[in-house]
């Protein structure tokens, strides 16, 4: 939605990422010493399933865009802000929130 007649836009969104059947080919737990991957180590540390998980949540977004051309701008600014919340009750494997802040000129 555009705020009045300004370069400010805002909106909400829904995000769904389902990862399943994760086949970590570098991982070899039977080797000696076991060959551990970053994925395995992180998931193990946080106590999350290493083969499947999902992230489902809502986001609040705002963008300020005064660029003259989106593909090859000569002047103007772009500032973007996105907050994404992934609570367990919406189907996420773990509670989490993420923040995205961006600026271009």
List interacting residues with another protein (CB under 8 A): 3-4, 6-8, 17, 19, 22, 38-39, 42-43, 46, 48, 53, 55, 64, 73-75, 80, 85-87, 93-105
Terminal-to-terminal C-alpha distance of the chain? 22
Of 52, 49, 65, 58, which is closest to residue 86 (Cα–Cα)? 58
For the bound state, the minimum distance from the C-beta of residue 101 to another protein, rounded and expressed in Å, comes to 5
For the bound state, the minimum distance from the C-beta of residue 102 to another protein, rounded and expressed in Å, comes to 4
How far is 82 from 59, CA to CA, in rounded Å? 7
Angle formed at CA 88 by CA 83 and CA 94, multiple of 5 degrees? 80
- Cβ closer to another protein: 26 or 98? 98
For the bound state, the minimum distance from the C-beta of residue 30 to another protein, rounded and expressed in Å, comes to 21
């Amino acid at each position: 939605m555009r705020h009045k007649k300004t370069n400010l836009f805002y909106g909400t969104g829904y995000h769904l990422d389902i990862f399943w059947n994760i086949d970590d080919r570098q991982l070899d737990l039977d080797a000696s010493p076991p060959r551990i991957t970053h994925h395995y180590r992180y998931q193990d540390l946080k106590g999350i399933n290493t083969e499947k998980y999902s992230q489902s949540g809502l986001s609040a977004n705002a963008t300020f865009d005064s660029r003259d051309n989106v593909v090859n701008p000569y002047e103007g600014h772009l500032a973007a802000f996105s907050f994404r919340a992934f609570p367990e009750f919406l189907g996420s494997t773990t509670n989490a929130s993420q923040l995205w802040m961006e600026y271009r000129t």
